Amino acid sequence: MSKRNKVLVGSGLFVVIVLLVIVSASATRDKGTEVRFEEVGRRDLVAAVTASGKIQPKRKVDVSADITGRVTRIGVREGDLVREGQFLLQIDPIIYEANLQRAQAAMSSAEAGAVQARANRDQSDRALQRTNELRTQNPNLISQEQLEQAQTAFDIAESNLTASQHMVEQARAAMREARDQLAKTRLIAPMAGRVTRLAVEEGEVAVPGTFSRETGLLLTISDLSVIQVEVQVDETDVVRLSLNDSVEVTIDAFPDTTFVGRVTKISNSAILTAGSGLAGQTDRAVDYGVEVTLANPPSEVRPDLSATAEIITDTRRQALAVPIIALTVREHRPVATEQRPADTTNVKRKETEGVFVVSNGVATFRPVKVGIPGEEHFEVLDGVRAGDTIVAGPYQAIRDLKEGARVRANRQAADSARRAS
């Protein structure tokens, strides 16, 4: 074969290959984008809000120190059950006993001074009366000056008695204060419950928590008969909650068990966090506190255990639904009418939610109105009907899909459907 013939044959083969590639690409385009199809159907939907938090008893009391002193004896251990009025711990009472003795001595001294002042007042009163009688019988026997002196002595004695009585009241108040301080050295249980925290040891110095609640904390008693889960719910979800909403709770310490409860409190103000008042923090998360009361808490439950609450906000029975992944947004185009033709020159387009409905291999965007969200599906109130075929995935294909584009069933999805049938 001549060189010229070889060139002609090679050129012909190249042209054939190019034509085959073009035909194959055209055939692929004609088949359309591979997507996953799904028929619109009815199903049960449950809308829920998930939030995390910690286990807390409904009632608990932090027993703190009101006075300063060394802890000399502790009568309970962490985890003990206590009854109301039971002895908890003793703070060294020596200083406060001495203060009470001084107050009692001051009280006795004040009372003795009051007795003496009353006697002086009575004596001055009698002297004034005699002076007045003598002055009345014979003015020459008692001068006016002597009468004035007797009156002045009586007034002074009366004032001294009043002052002494006030000193008695002051001493009595000081004694009551000293007795109260002494009583605070012996701490008893304010309610029945379990000691869930013991924050002090014998020999440590207890101090009042003037500026910090934790500073003076000695122990905590919790009533574990009613257990709650305190969770934080985002501001976008809290408006969906209502009192008595049903809740399913999972506790990390009990991974194989689900507990049920009810929403018993929804906070009306946001949870304040450190730095929440700083300027410029406009993008911080805003959470609200929600309390969930458990119906049958486990007997081994402890405060501060981590828990997750799934709060059921709404349910639908056999509602028309579409997969969440199928829902997308597209620009809404104005519709032309006889009175007003569609002029999109100065019209701001609005994005609307909808799905791609498939008919004869062509995907058409159709706006829909959705209701409650389920775990994997949205309730559809308007826009599609049961039995409509929609594009249900994958996400990338739905995002890039154009109006009127040709689509075809994903091969893997089709094979799975045949195997299932």
CA–CA separation, 193 and 295 (whole Å): 19
Q: What is the pLDDT of residue 349?
A: 59
pLDDT digits (tens, 9 = 90+) for 391-410: 998 988 888 899 889 998 87
pLDDT digits (tens, 9 = 90+) for 48-92: 999 999 999 999 999 998 899 999 999 999 999 999 999 999 999
In sequence order, the 6+-apart residues with CB closer than 8 A to the CB of 21 are none
Amino acid at 18: V
Q: At what angle do helices 94-137 and 144-183 cross, to 10 degrees?
A: 160
CB 44 within 8 A of CB 375: no
Give the mean model confidence (pLDDT) for residues 136-152: 86
pLDDT digits (tens, 9 = 90+) for 357-383: 999 989 999 999 999 888 889 999 999
In sequence order, the 6+-apart residues with CB closer than 8 A to the CB of 40 are 320, 321, 322, 380, 384, 385, 386, 387, 388, 389, 390
Give the mean model confidence (pLDDT) for residues 220-238: 92
DSSP state of 406: B
Place of tokens 């389920």: 374
Q: Is the pLDDT reported for residue 221 higher than 80?
A: yes
In sequence order, the 6+-apart residues with CB closer than 8 A to the CB of 305 are 54, 55, 251, 252, 253
- How far does Cα 297 stand from its chain's mean position? 20
DSSP state of 59: E
CA Rg value for the chain: 45
Confidence of residue 421 (pLDDT cuts 50, 70, 90): very low
Q: What is the pLDDT of residue 80?
A: 93
Helix (H, G, I), strand (E, B) or coil at 326: helix
CA–CA separation, 396 and 151 (whole Å): 109
More confident residue, 136 or 232: 232
DSSP state of 211: S
Helix (H, G, I), strand (E, B) or coil at 242: coil
Count how many residues are written for the chain.
Answer: 421
Q: Is the pLDDT reported for residue 133 higher than 70?
A: yes
Query: Judging by DSSP bridges, how do beta strands 193-198 and 81-82 pair with one another?
Result: antiparallel
What would the two tokens of residue 101 be? 């003795």
A 10 A CB-CB count for 182 gives 19
Nearest of 179, 167, 159, 157 to residue 110 by alpha carbon: 167
Report the CATH number of the 33-44+317-420 domain: 2.40.420.20
Q: What ranges make up the beta strands (E) of 135-245?
A: 186-188, 193-198, 205-206, 217-234
Q: What is the pLDDT of residue 284?
A: 67
What's the chain's average pLDDT? 84
This prediction's pTM: 0.63
pLDDT > 70 in the chain, percent: 81
More confident residue, 228 or 211: 228
CA atoms within 13 A on the CB side of 270: 13
CA–CA separation, 13 and 67 (whole Å): 103
A 10 A CB-CB count for 349 gives 11
Domain boundaries, the chain: 33-44+317-420, 94-182
DSSP state of 300: T
Query: Judging by DSSP bridges, how do beta strands 246-251 and 254-270 pair with one another?
Result: antiparallel
Q: Which of 120-129, 130-139, 219-228 has the lowest mean pLDDT?
A: 130-139
Q: What is the pLDDT of residue 348?
A: 54
CB 350 within 8 A of CB 332: yes
CA–CA separation, 61 and 38 (whole Å): 57
Confidence of residue 33 (pLDDT cuts 50, 70, 90): confident
DSSP state of 325: G
CA–CA separation, 22 and 343 (whole Å): 39
A 10 A CB-CB count for 189 gives 20
CA–CA separation, 248 and 307 (whole Å): 10
Whole-angstrom CA distances from 289 to 245, 258, 266 are 15, 22, 6
Q: What is the pLDDT of residue 18?
A: 52
DSSP state of 66: S
pLDDT digits (tens, 9 = 90+) for 327-350: 999 875 554 444 445 555 555 557
- Give first-to-last CA distance, the chain, whole Å: 59
pLDDT > 90 in the chain, percent: 60
Residue 388 falls in which region: left (phi positive, over 0), alpha (psi -120 to 50) or beta:
beta
Query: Judging by DSSP bridges, how do beta strands 205-206 and 193-198 pair with one another?
Result: unpaired
Confidence of residue 107 (pLDDT cuts 50, 70, 90): very high
